[in-house]
Structure 1
């Protein structure tokens, strides 16, 4: 009897340890997302200063791959994003017994997160396996394929409106500090200030970039020209071409670096899973 009970305790302890290990691996996905956004922010600053580079996921990962030991970090980021995407996907099937509306709201959120981190993982995975990609050209290609379908312009326009809406939500989430709802209790005044500063600046900058990206996708739908749907790099370059665009782009670049710091330092450590 005691032996059976001891075996059950050991199994429970083993499952708890495995769960903790999986959770730590999943949190690496937040670090990977943070690193990606920080690199995009740095490239945006280079563009604002008259330099070059592709300010999107493929350009950021390519820049990381060129660094000494970068391939090992890329593999770590790929595995972390994969773990986080799987973790979020498994939560879609959980039923907490709460109000049905809240349950489905959480499921939609978890499913969306799984897709987002899965896509980020693909960006790292392609380079980890020795390949390369062009985010801008991929978006132009897919936009062209959708535009060629019946009601394609409406579908692309709807996608652009959704992206712009997400951008507006990010700005709202940053200004109202609602990103704190994603975090557990943050201990210490220094950590709390860091969370607030990086969160506000980061979410607003991320929102601005998504809003511009959505507008470009809508423009591609209205004109039936897939070349206008140029991805994040095109959105940031369009911002650079506006009056005082170099200044605004520089601010967005700094904000994206802050968003990267928020994800890597705050969300990865204090985020709710």
Structure 2
């Protein structure tokens, strides 16, 4: 057996292990907690009584300040790290159950998820150890400013925005058409119920809208060559708030993001792993 084959065998064996599966489910639950907090902070933002940034960093900060927050954050970091590893293995070795013609797209999607969960795991560990992260909007603006200085920087930033918009549209379609059910056990003992389906629909659509607005900010930053136009999730939510009937729209978005959080708890149980 070659070195590459041995590495692939070891990776698949690790992915098939019960401990990694369990920890990956913990990762989904941790994601649920973060989305619940973000949804709550978004509603607070809409009512003018915000107690923190309505973003992943803001959610982690809120969790760190809660009783037992450090322990919860370490658990979240481990679970999110396991979930990242799970998806990275899929990206490298292939996604089981995906058609051959769609395997490349499935691997790219798995890689994106792996990177996202790895970043969240890192941030959770950083907050758990007493550190802090840069504000989501400030970090994105600094990142965008660096890219704009590169040759073709405006096009790169605009392309990033279009990709984020595409991810947002994907979430909306996935929610509307109930495509997320492909990720869950929908038959047999302990199958997912109708309430989870509704939560998934509302959650995916709300999250998709927020991502679409976030992507739009990046496109605007690229078109105007102005890093200040870019931002993080809270900036996207504030953009929603600035629209006609913005407070109502933001409350609905916050409730939808919280619904995605509750759905993530169900996903921790019903996910196909």
* TM-score (normalizing by structure 1): 0.89
1:140 & 1:16 partners in 2: Cα distance?
Answer: 38
**Superimposed CA distance per residue, residues 22-69 of structure 1 (whole angstroms, 9 cap, x where no aligned partner):** 100111111111111111000000011111221101111101111111
Contact 1:41 1:255 in 2 (8 A): yes
239-248 or 89-98: bigger deviation: 89-98
**Superimposed CA distance per residue, residues 214-256 of structure 1 (whole angstroms, 9 cap, x where no aligned partner):** 1111111111111111110001011111111000000000000
Map of 1:244-255 to 2, 5 A cutoff? 244-255=245-256
**Superimposed CA distance per residue, residues 124-144 of structure 1 (whole angstroms, 9 cap, x where no aligned partner):** 122012110122111110000
**Superimposed CA distance per residue, residues 69-117 of structure 1 (whole angstroms, 9 cap, x where no aligned partner):** 1111011000000011111112223356986433323322221221121
1:254 & 1:225 partners in 2: Cα distance?
Answer: 31
Contact 2:15 2:89 in 1 (8 A): no
The change in CA–CA distance for 1:66 and 1:148 in structure 2 (over 3 A counts) is same
1:64 & 1:191 partners in 2: Cα distance?
Answer: 29
The change in CA–CA distance for 1:234 and 1:173 in structure 2 (over 3 A counts) is same
Name stretches of at least 5 consecutive residues in structure 1 with no aligned partner. Answer: 1-14
Contact 1:186 1:192 in 2 (8 A): no
2:194 & 2:121 partners in 1: Cα distance?
Answer: 30
Tell me which residue corresponds to 2:8.
none
1:45 & 1:197 partners in 2: Cα distance?
Answer: 20
**Superimposed CA distance per residue, residues 179-218 of structure 1 (whole angstroms, 9 cap, x where no aligned partner):** 1111112568995122111101100100010000011111
1:34 & 1:198 partners in 2: Cα distance?
Answer: 12
The change in CA–CA distance for 1:17 and 1:165 in structure 2 (over 3 A counts) is closer
Contact 2:165 2:212 in 1 (8 A): yes
Tell me which residue corresponds to 2:36.
38
The change in CA–CA distance for 1:114 and 1:212 in structure 2 (over 3 A counts) is same
State the SS of the aligned residue for 1:93: helix
Map of 1:32-111 to 2, 5 A cutoff? 32-52=30-50, 53-94=52-93, 100-111=100-111
Contact 2:69 2:128 in 1 (8 A): no
Structure whose CA Rg is larger: 1
200-209 or 25-34: bigger deviation: 25-34
Tell me which residue corresponds to 2:19.
21
CA RMSD, aligned part only? 2.1
2:118 & 2:14 partners in 1: Cα distance?
Answer: 25
